[in-house]
Structure 1
Amino acid sequence: MQGLHLIADLYQCDCEPAVLLDRDVLEKRCVDFCQAAGLTPLGAYFYQFSHDNGDKAGVTGTVVLAESHVAIHTWPETRAVTLDVYVCNFSRDNSDRARAVFQHLIALLQPGEVMEKDVMRGELPVTA
């Protein structure tokens, strides 16, 4: 279960509005970035939120990978996004692939401010 989990809160995103507002646009880009990095998408589920008047609002979605997942949530009204990219390293080290997807998504979203954390998951504690 050992793997890399990249987590980011993105603020002041200056991307095309459709990236934050349109489920189809965001889903395609997420899946494409995973495939281009050499990861294996097994499926994706993205949900389109709408305002009471029917206009598109934010998007929440996930790409399930053979190696684990990508999760993304947008708040277009505040130009904010939360992003998780997690990969397992069971049969190979997928860390560079995870970093590639993460960096492509950050470049797409064009945040003015990024708060990020890298977490190594599944590391056994050292015992004395």
Structure 2
Amino acid sequence: MNGLHLIAELHDCKCAPRLLRSVDALRELCLTICAAPGLTPVGQVFHQFGSAKAPAGATGAVILAESHLAVHTWPELNAVTLDLYVCNFSQDNSVAARSACARLIDAFIPERVEQREIVRGSCPK
């Protein structure tokens, strides 16, 4: 279960409002970001809050062969939380996770970021 868990809270995001309000925009971003550094999406669930006429935010999870990504938007606060965990069972996926996380953060253009890294499990012998 050795892995890297990245957690971030993004405040005062200056991205296009659609990225905070549209489940379709969030899905496209998450899948594109995961594929770029070599992470492997194997499933996904996304949900639109509000209505088609008055979208209120979106939440989504991408199940990765390496573990998962979860992103939640709060357009009324211009805020986002994200959670990316990769296991390092057959290879070290830490570089890919950090790259994906940095690209996600950049996409939302936050003025302030609170970010944590948690090393999970123990190193294999």
> Which TM bucket (shorter chain)?
over 0.9
Q: TM-score normalised to the size of structure 2?
A: 0.95
Percent identity between matched residues is: 51
Give, in angstroms, the shift of residue 43 of structure 1. Answer: 1.2
1:18 counterpart residue number: 18
Structure-2 separation of matches of 1:17 and 1:87? 29
SS at match of 2:77: coil
Structure-2 separation of matches of 1:35 and 1:116? 22
2:69 counterpart residue number: 70
C-alpha RMSD over aligned residues: 1.3
- Do residues 83 (structure 1) and 78 (structure 2) align? no
> Quick one: which amino acid aligns to residue 31 of structure 1?
L
Larger Rg: 1
Task: Describe how 1:40-55 pairs up with structure 2 within 5 A.
Answer: 40-50=40-50, 54-55=53-54
2:94 counterpart residue number: 95
Q: Which runs of 5+ in 2 are unaligned?
A: none
Structure-2 separation of matches of 1:3 and 1:27? 24
Structure-1 separation of matches of 2:53 and 2:95? 40
Structure 1 segments, 4+ long, off by >4 Å, are none
Number of residues paired by the alignment?
Answer: 123
> Quick one: which amino acid aligns to residue 118 of structure 1?
E
Structure-2 separation of matches of 1:123 and 1:12? 36
Task: Describe how 1:88-127 pairs up with structure 2 within 5 A.
Answer: 88-123=87-122
Q: Which runs of 5+ in 1 are unaligned?
A: none
Q: TM-score normalised to the size of structure 1?
A: 0.92
SS at match of 2:100: helix
1:57 counterpart residue number: 56
